[in-house]
Amino acid sequence: MFVTAAYAQSSTTEGAEAHDAAAAGEVHTETGVAHEADHGAGVFPPFDTTHFASQLLWLAITFGLFYLLMSKVIIPRIGGILETRHDRIAQDLDEASRLKGEADAAIAAYEQELASARAKGHSIADTAREAAKSKAKADRDGVEAGLAKKIAAAEARIADIKSKALADVGAIAEETATAVVKQLIGGTVTKAEIAAAFKASAGN
């Protein structure tokens, strides 16, 4: 900090006047105590032994006030804050535990429902498979029965046609044999004789 020459000169002048007044035994206007030239010269005020009593008194007063402030105001507030936080943490832990229990219960219910749904799905699939097998078997049996009826009808028709054809063949053979005999020997034979001859040839 810079000091001007005028301010330094005025300060020097005021210091010299104060020193002269102290030397002349003038009384201080605020305390009413006469200045002494060598009283407390060069001693830092907190280390001055004449002020120890007042310093200790003010230290005790300040410490007491600070202790009362700490014990009556600050510590109860801090304790209340800690208690509130402790209660809030305990409530949060209880809430978290409750939510965890609900989540575990929900997961268990979900797994149980999933297992039930899987079992029901397997049951439905088995039932559908058995129903499909039964229906396929019934359809196959129906088709086979229809085919068997058609085959039986076809075989009966074939047998009828075969019998008719054989009957026609017999009649044609008899007529042919009669004509052949008539051409060969010039005679006639009866149908009974021709039928007997056919039977004899069939037996051989």
Calculate mean pLDDT across residues 128-157.
Answer: 88
Instruction: List, as one string, the DSSP characters of 68-92.
Output: HHIIIIIHHHHHHHHHHHHHHHHHH
Q: What percent of the chain has pLDDT over 70?
A: 65
pLDDT digits (tens, 9 = 90+) for 42-76: 677 777 778 788 889 999 999 999 999 999 999 99
pTM above 0.75, yes or no: no
- Residue 58: per-residue pLDDT: 92
Looking at per-residue pLDDT, the higher value among 155 and 47 belongs to 155
- Residue 88: per-residue pLDDT: 93
The structure tokens listed for 171 are 């009649």
Q: How far apart are the first and last CA of the chain?
A: 163
pLDDT digits (tens, 9 = 90+) for 115-127: 999 999 989 999 9
The structure tokens listed for 73 are 């105001």
**Other Cβ atoms closer than 10 A to 82:** 10
Looking at per-residue pLDDT, the higher value among 98 and 164 belongs to 98
pLDDT digits (tens, 9 = 90+) for 168-203: 666 676 677 777 766 777 666 666 666 676 666 655
**Other Cβ atoms closer than 10 A to 22:** 15
